[in-house]
Structure formats: C-alpha cells, structure tokens
Amino acid sequence: MARILVLEDDKLFNETLEDFLEEEGHTIQCALDPYTALDLAYEYVFDLYLFDVNLPYENGFELLEKLRQSGDETPCIFITSRDDKASLKEGFEKGGDDYIQKPVDLDELFLRMQAVLRRQVRSQIVEIGTYQFDILTKTLYQNNETLELSIKGGELLLALLEGQERVVPLDQIKERLWSSAEEASDGALRVYIAQLKKYFPTHIHNVRGVGYRMSIK
C-alpha cells in the first residue's frame, strides 16, 4: 500500500483516479490546484506523486521543481496531454520519474506506478547507527543478527524513516498500521513505539498530541 498525492484540476478525472487507486489498496490525498498540493506535500509524507501538467496558477513541472529544491525526493509521474519532446524533456529535467499521456489508460497507469515504486525501494537497506533495516522485508539487523521486531513495529519504523526526520502525524501513522476494518489503538501504538525505543532510545521523539519524529544520525 502506498500513500499517493493526486494533483488534477479536472474534478471528474480527479475523482476517477481517487476511486481507482483506493480500490487498489492505496491511501489517496487529492488536490485540484498546485497550492493545495504543495500544502499537502509539506503536511504528509507520500510514496508517490501523480501530477497533472496543465494547471491553474502554475504547472506541474514548476510545482515539482519547488519540491525538489526543498529536498523532497518523492517519485513523481506526470499526467499530461502534451506530446512534444520539449515538454517531456522539461518534465524529466524538473525531477519527474515518468509520464503518461491523456487520455489515461488506468491499467497502464497502474503498471507505471508499480515500476516507479519498485525503483524507489531498490536501495532496501537503511543504516541507522549500528543497525540495518531492510525496508522490503521490514527486518531489523545488528551485526548480521536478526532482531525481534513485530510486523506493525516494522511498519511503524518504515513510516518514521519515510518521514525524513519530519514529524509524522498520529493519524497518518494509524492509517499506516491499521486497515479500515481494524480499530486503531493508542495503547498499542505506544507499545510499538516502546519496542522501537528499545533499539533507538535517542532517535525517536514524541511531539505531544501531534505525532512522532525519528532522527537517523
């Protein structure tokens, strides 16, 4: 499951993308204009951006350039009606990872998304002090020994790492750890945090009432 930001100013197509991607199991945030998208990008941590190019106020290329300049490396697929090589070149130069032309074939979009998300996790071992975390299997190691970590504890660690040292909101953490059919538990979340703090006592910081942040240095 990935958290995806969809930026598309055509309201009907925006809703179509939201319905399609939610049916595939992803968590979706939608925006109709680049200013709203920018606010969402700063508020949440996303796994993928889907940006329309022709937008009111500024285009999708300019928005992604802003995000890249702020240090945001979230993969981005452009959705565009443009087919000239100059536009395609500009999209990649601004930091785009792929593009798909309108009218969009949803099955093709899904395949392109999967390919981009797979590339995102190619470097699957994250070093955290003396520990190594495999973000694909969500397994924690130290000196080549596997450490005890619950499934939700591993998912929580990945969510905090994806926050890139920013505060990850409590609601976002709960959405990540519990499906819509499960009841999120503050008590259980505290247990998983305590489990991680056993290994990272100085890395995980509680911003009371807001969420958690993890430093990796």
Quick: pLDDT tens for 119-176: 665 456 788 888 998 877 888 999 889 999 999 999 999 889 888 788 889 988 998 8
The CATH code that applies to domain 125-214 is: 1.10.10.10
Longest dimension (CA), the chain: 54
Q: What is the mean pLDDT of residues 1-5?
A: 86
Q: What is the mean pLDDT of residues 16-45?
A: 92
Rounded Cα gap, residues 61 and 97, in angstroms: 12
CA 90, 95, 97, 103 dihedral sign is negative
Q: Which of 27-31, 119-123, 209-213 is predicted with the least confidence, judged by mean pLDDT? A: 119-123
**Type of residue numbered 121:** V
Q: How is the chain split into domains, by residue range?
A: 3-120, 125-214
pLDDT tens per residue, range 90-100: 888 888 989 99
For the domain with range 3-120, which CATH number is right: 3.40.50.150, 3.40.50.2300, 3.40.718.10, 3.40.190.10?
A: 3.40.50.2300
CA 28, 29, 33, 39 dihedral sign is negative
> Quick one: pLDDT at residue 122?
46
Q: What is the mean pLDDT of residues 189-199?
A: 95
Rounded Cα gap, residues 162 and 216, in angstroms: 11
pLDDT tens per residue, range 105-135: 999 999 999 888 876 654 567 888 889 988 7
User: Tokens in use for 39?
Assistant: 């606010």
Pairing of strands 145-146, 3-7: unpaired
C-alpha closest to that of 122 among 147, 99, 97: 97
Mean pLDDT of the chain: 88
Rounded Cα gap, residues 179 and 151, in angstroms: 14
Rounded Cα gap, residues 40 and 155, in angstroms: 22
In the chain the beta strands, taken as DSSP E runs, fall at 3-7, 27-31, 48-52, 76-80, 98-101, 125-128, 131-134, 139-142, 145-146, 168-169, 204-207, 211-214
Give me the phi and psi of 190, to 5 degrees please: -65, -35
